């Protein structure tokens, strides 16, 4: 292959029949979200680089080393979005959506991060996300979590664990940061290089380290729960009570911090042990300061985003999808007059049966060639229209998957005939 025709590393094609799995999951997610009153917001893929630096955080991994940023023709720095919460808040501010009331939105689409591609981690990946604005109580976090749980249930997914934690208020976090820094400085020699670098910029992120020795050290580190003020503690208790009431199991994980700076209060993550290191399927939390940080009026908010590639991988590994099936029928037409009749017949069938999956033979061919195409696509029936059928106002229907005799069916009852067979399938 010549250089120019290689796909870009970390950017994937999604082909049928895998794309059918994507459609199914997207449809389920849309149904769950719309059912709960979330409206879809369609956001641009490109935003000002500044938006991400101000929201996700200039010292976050994403902004420091994962963004696709480029100058436009006027020299303004733009970036392919690495996530969509920032864009959603930007849209809310610029479109005047934050009027002090409540707002529930969801989005879907591609995100871009320059990470090392591996299973479940790509440079273009896709998220579906939900964001809720204007609500201060733990109820909205419980609602968001319950939406994800409902989606797993609708898909038939097992083995996803919910982890929750709280980052407390701004003051709690300041107190905790000081306690954590004190501890980490005393053990600086035992820290890995990355974590040592974060001491100066983003010490909470050290809690997230995957390095074994650092993890061991952290076992004895101070915990944020011990730095919580009474309001934060009560909020977190309330969230747990609501999850209990919903019957949603969770694990409290004091090391769960999110890689994006805008989170405040509750954070959560759904994880699986089926995808190796790429274990997070869906993550989110509360971000009460972000709207104001970006220039809007103070608006409490919470949300999550799920990774479609990981969800598809997990769902496929659990065989939740029915085996791919071919079309219901393949229309074989032999000769010029039958071909013209076939066109009209196919349109009439599709009008009558909107869910019918029907391929009409294209580019002619002998009976044998057309039947070969019908077999190859996995059609359930071949519908054959030749000169003699045309003369009789009929078609010959030949079952291709079941051992049954072919039979003649009048054209004017063909739709009824297919309706029965397709429903029975
Ligand atoms: P990770 O810790 O795996 O890097 P993250 O904390 O960076 O995840 P978020 O920014 O919270 O992830 O994004 C939400 C979800 O998007 C993740 O839970 C994951 O399912 C998915 N995701 C994030 N980065 C990628 C990627 N590069 N490729 C595929 N999916 C991703
Ligand atoms: Mg990441």
Q: Are 261 and 83 in contact (CB under 8 A)?
A: no
The reported pLDDT for the residue numbered 386 is: 98
Whether pLDDT at 203 is above 70: yes
115 lines ligand 1 (CB under 6 A): yes
The reported pLDDT for the residue numbered 258 is: 78
Cα distances (Å, whole numbers) of residue 24 to 18, 50, 212, 311, 359:
10, 36, 39, 12, 21
Widest pairwise Cα distance in the chain: 93
Measure 120 CA to ligand 1 centroid, in angstroms.
9
Token pair for 12 = 């994937």
Through-space distance between the first and last CA atoms of the chain, rounded to whole angstroms: 44
**212-217 contact pairs (CB < 8 A, 24+):** 214/190, 217/187, 217/190, 217/191
Measure 269 CA to ligand 1 centroid, in angstroms.
10
Separation CA 400–CA 252 (nearest Å) = 55
Residues belonging to the chain: 425
As a whole-number percent, the residues of the chain with pLDDT over 90 amount to: 81
Decide: pTM greater than 0.75. yes
pLDDT tens-digit map of 262-301:
888 999 999 999 999 899 999 999 999 999 999 999 999 9
Measure 224 CA to ligand 1 centroid, in angstroms.
24
259 lines ligand 1 (CB under 6 A): yes
Q: Band the pLDDT of 2: cuts 50, 70, 90.
A: low
| Closest to 396 (Cα-Cα) out of 335, 296, 329, 299 | 329
Mean pLDDT of all residues belonging to the chain: 94
Whether pLDDT at 238 is above 60: yes
Ligand located closest to 160 CA: 1
Give the ranges where 156-229 is alpha helix by DSSP (H): 170-186, 193-201, 212-218
Domains of the chain: 18-169+229-317 (3.30.930.10), 329-424 (3.40.50.800)
The reported pLDDT for the residue numbered 3 is: 65
């Amino acid at each position: 292959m010549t250089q120019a025709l290689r796909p870009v590393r970390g950017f994937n094609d999604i082909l049928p029949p895998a794309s059918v799995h994507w459609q199914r999951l997207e449809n389920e997610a849309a149904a769950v979200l719309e059912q709960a009153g979330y409206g879809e917001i369609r956001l641009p893929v490109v935003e000002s680089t500044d938006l991400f630096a101000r929201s996700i955080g200039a010292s976050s991994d994403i902004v420091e080393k994962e963004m696709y940023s480029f100058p436009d023709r006027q020299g303004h720095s733009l970036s392919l979005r690495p996530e969509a919460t920032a864009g959603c808040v930007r849209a809310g501010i610029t479109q005047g959506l934050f009027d002090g009331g409540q707002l529930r939105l969801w989005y879907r689409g591609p995100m871009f991060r320059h990470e090392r591609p591996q299973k479940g981690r790509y440079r273009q990946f896709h998220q579906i996300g939900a964001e809720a604005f204007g609500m201060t109580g733990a109820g909205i976090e419980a609602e968001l979590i319950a939406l994800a749980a409902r989606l797993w249930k609708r898909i038939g997914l097992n083995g996803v664990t919910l982890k929750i934690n709280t980052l407390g208020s701004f003051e709690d976090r300041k107190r905790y940061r000081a306690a954590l820094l004190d501890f980490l400085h005393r053990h600086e020699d035992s820290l890995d290089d990355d974590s040592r670098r974060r001491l100066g910029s983003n010490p909470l992120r050290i809690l997230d380290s995957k390095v074994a020795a650092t993890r061991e050290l952290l076992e004895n580190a101070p915990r944020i729960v011990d730095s919580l003020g009474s309001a934060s503690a009560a909020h977190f208790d309330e969230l747990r009570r609501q999850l209990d009431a919903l019957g949603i199991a969770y694990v409290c994980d004091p090391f769960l911090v999110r890689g994006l700076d805008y989170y405040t209060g509750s954070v959560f993550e759904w994880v699986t042990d089926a995808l190796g290191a790429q274990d997070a399927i869906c993550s989110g939390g509360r971000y009460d300061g972000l709207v104001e940080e970006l220039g809007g009026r103070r608006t409490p908010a919470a949300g999550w985003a799920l990774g479609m590639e990981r969800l598809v991988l997990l769902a496929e590994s659990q065989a939740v999808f029915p085996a791919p099936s071919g079309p219901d029928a393949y229309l074989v037409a032999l000769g010029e007059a039958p071909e013209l009749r076939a066109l009209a017949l196919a349109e009439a069938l599709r009008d009558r049966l909107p869910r019918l999956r029907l391929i009409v033979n294209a580019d002619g061919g002998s009976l044998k060639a057309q039947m070969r195409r019908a077999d190859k696509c996995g059609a359930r029936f071949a519908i054959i229209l030749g000169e003699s059928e045309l003369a009789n106002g009929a078609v010959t229907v030949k079952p291709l998957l079941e051992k049954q005799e072919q039979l003649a069916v009048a054209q004017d009852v063909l739709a009824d005939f297919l309706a029965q067979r397709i429903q029975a399938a």
